[in-house]
Amino acid sequence: MNPVPEDMENALMGSQSSHASLRDVHSINPTQLMARIESYEGREKKGISDVRRTFCLFVTFDLLFVTLLWIIELNVNGGIENTLEKEVVRYDYYSSYFDIFLLAVFRFKVLILAYAVCRLRHWWAIALTTAVTSAFLLAKVILSKLFSQGAFGYVLPIISFILAWIETWFLDFKVLPQEAEEENRLLIVQDASERAALIPGGLSDGQFYSPPESEAGSENEAEEKQDSEKPLLEL
């Protein structure tokens, strides 16, 4: 027998692959799809993701930690009331820590407003706070006389600088990528559920069954051959 032509083989392979894909779509469990969709929608209804909530908690920790260090510094350098009047009422850029505390308040207000209240999904707000913090602290360390005031002249600027960059790293490498991944998963599950809903419920593999080629052609050829041989036998 002659081999099957290549175009016929390609057609058969294409039909088999299409049937397989239909069976795969039909094999998706609608209950599982709806459960996944409801879980993702439940996360959206919460208003804020878990990783974003953790970021907001860390921003709050930044403010509280810098405030605690500043209060300790006030108490160490001659009492809270006297030092507070010296650093706030008679503020001096070259010797006061009050501006570092205000810098922490600035970061807290901007980041909470941007990523907790407005729920931004962009890095411009964290870039602004980190750039302002870095520039201000570098200028203060270079121009001020903090290093002559003891350990807090080193601790407060360094801690503020490190916390600002940790917030940037956490948002850029944890919060935004994870939320984008969860959104993509939701879109994929919704698309799969829509495709599964388009397939009728009663489909089975038998409906995609392609019977083998019939041997009717070979039987007809045998009958024609016998008919052609009959006149020769009669002679």
Q: What is the pTM of this model?
A: 0.66
Q: How many structural domains compose the chain?
A: 1
- Mean pLDDT, the chain, integer: 77
- Is 201 inside a domain boundary? no
- Is 120 inside a domain boundary? yes
- Is 96 inside a domain boundary? yes
Q: Which residue has the higher pLDDT, 132 or 194?
A: 132
pLDDT per residue over 38-73, tens digit each? 555 555 555 789 999 999 999 999 999 999 999 998
Quote the CA–CA distance of 80 and 94 in Å, as a whole number: 19
- Is 161 inside a domain boundary? yes
pLDDT per residue over 210-226, tens digit each? 555 554 555 556 566 56
pLDDT per residue over 6-33, tens digit each? 444 544 444 454 444 444 444 455 555 5
Tell me which residue range forms the domain holding 67: 50-196
- Is 231 inside a domain boundary? no
CB atoms closer than 10 angstroms to residue 115 = 23
User: Smallest Cα–Cα separation from 161: which of 142, 127, 138, 128?
Assistant: 138
Query: Which residues lie closer than 8 Å to 76 by C-beta, 6 or more apart?
Result: 150, 152
- Is 107 inside a domain boundary? yes
